[in-house]
């Protein structure tokens, strides 16, 4: 049990209080959607007064925008972009396959769906500020994958005919589409089946192996040339 002094100190810590409100707000929005999210439920979960909430956030919309920028944006960044950046010297196809396979598929994850897609479906037509913030996240996610694919092309591990930006967008659509299907079915098996299909498609992006033996074709500066006899 926390002492009353410790509780008071935590309540007086502005940064900690703001972070607690953000996390409680995220959970409430993920559970109920932004429009149905209850400020009272957020306050009850944090033991924070309404005055303290509006000290940090001017309105419910302001809280929602902060949730998108500071909590939701971290999901693709931590799950996709940072692992791709750490694997610069490795095959990006292997890195992407590992990322897809690591996406949580517990019943509670499937039940709630992807927070980013949930908000995009709910709020994009209703609030331009929400839409713009969500678009920024999608664009950064897509460009991060595209950058990894281009790196793979320069390394000779990704097919040269792959259009990196379009392929990255298609991968995001595959992942999010299967998550929507799994949420609707309320069945992790749907997502697990989707993983298999996505992994198979990712493998199809690999560059064909080039033999380096006599009489075989070699890759030289991005061009296919005949080895001299």
For residue 194, the surrounding DSSP H or E stretch is helix 188-203
What is the residue-wise DSSP string for 33-64? -TTT--HHHHHHHHT--HHHHHHH-SSHHHHH
What average pLDDT does the segment 23-47 reach?
96
DSSP state letters, 145-176 = HHHHHHHHHHHT-B-TT--HHHHHHHHHHHHH
φ, ψ dihedrals at 99, nearest 5°: -65, -45
Which pLDDT does position 213 carry in this prediction? Answer: 36
Rounded to whole angstroms, how far apart are CA atoms 64 and 52?
16
Selection from 32, 112, 90, 21 nearest residue 62 by Cα: 21
CATH assignment of 73-203, among 3.40.190.100, 1.10.357.10, 1.10.760.10, 3.40.50.300: 1.10.357.10
Residue 44 has a pLDDT of: 95
- Taking only the tens place, the pLDDT of each residue in 135-172 is 999 999 999 999 999 999 999 999 999 999 999 999 99
Confidence tier at 109 by pLDDT (50, 70, 90):
confident
**pLDDT of 66 higher than 80:** yes
* 69: pLDDT strictly greater than 90: yes
When pLDDT is cut at 50, 70 and 90, the band that residue 90 belongs to is confident
Instruction: Give the number of other Cβ atoms within 10 Å of residue 23's Cβ.
Output: 16
Q: Does pLDDT of 36 surpass 90? A: yes
Residue 177 or residue 9, greater confidence: 177
Q: What is the pLDDT of residue 118?
A: 96
| pLDDT of the residue at 219 | 38
CATH superfamily placement of domain 4-65: Homeodomain-like (1.10.10.60)
The pLDDT tens digits of the residues spanning 182-218 come to 999 999 999 999 999 999 999 999 999 743 233 333 3
Query: Would the pTM count as exceeding 0.95?
Result: no
Buried b or exposed e, range 170-193, using 16+ CB within 10 angstroms: ebbebbbebbbebbeeeebebbee
What is the mean predicted confidence (pLDDT) over 78-93?
91
Tally of CA atoms within 13 A in the half-sphere of 30 that contains its CB: 20
The 3-state DSSP class for residue 218 equals: strand
Q: Chain-wide mean pLDDT for the chain?
A: 88
Structure confidence at residue 161 (pLDDT): 96
In 3D, which of 102, 109, 116, 89 has the Cα closest to residue 172? 116
Where exactly does CATH 1.10.10.60 map onto the chain?
4-65
Say what the pLDDT of residue 89 is. 74
pLDDT at 223 over 70: no
Q: Both tokens of residue 10?
A: 């935590």
Q: Where in the chain is the domain with CATH 1.10.357.10?
A: 73-203
Residue with tokens 């990006």: 92
Q: What is the per-residue burial (b if ≥16 Cβ within 10 Å, else e) of 132-169?
A: ebbeebbeebbebbbbbbbbbbeeebbbeebebeebbb
Tokens describing residue 116: 């980013």
C-alpha span between 206 and 97 (Å, rounded): 12
pLDDT digits (tens, 9 = 90+) for 2-29: 455 555 554 468 889 999 999 999 999 9
Q: What are 220-224's contacts with CB under 8 Å, separation 24+?
A: 222/160
Averaged over 72-97, what is the pLDDT?
93
């Amino acid at each position: 049990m926390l002492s009353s002094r410790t509780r008071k100190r935590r309540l007086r810590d502005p940064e900690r209080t703001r972070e607690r409100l953000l996390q409680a707000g995220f959970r409430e929005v993920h559970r109920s959607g932004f429009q149905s999210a209850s400020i009272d439920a957020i306050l009850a979960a944090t033991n924070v007064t309404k005055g303290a909430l509006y000290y940090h956030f001017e309105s419910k919309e302001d809280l929602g925008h902060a949730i998108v920028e500071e909590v939701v944006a971290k999901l693709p960044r931590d799950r996709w972009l940072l692992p791709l950046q750490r694997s610069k010297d490795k095959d990006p196809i292997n890195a992407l396959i590992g990322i897809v396979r690591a996406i949580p598929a517990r019943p509670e994850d499937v039940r709630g769906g992807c927070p980013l897609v949930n908000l995009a479906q709910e709020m994009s037509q209703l609030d331009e500020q929400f839409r713009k913030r969500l678009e920024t996240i999608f664009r950064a996610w897509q460009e991060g994958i595209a950058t990894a694919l281009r790196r793979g092309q320069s390394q000779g591990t990704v097919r040269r005919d792959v259009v990196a930006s379009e392929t990255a967008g298609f991968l995001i659509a595959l992942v999010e589409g299967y998550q929507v299907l799994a949420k609707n079915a309320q069945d992790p098996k749907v997502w697990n089946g989707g993983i298999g299909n996505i992994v198979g498609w990712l493998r199809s992006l690999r560059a064909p192996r080039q033999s380096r033996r006599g009489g075989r074709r070699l890759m030289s500066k991005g061009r296919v040339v005949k080895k001299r006899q």
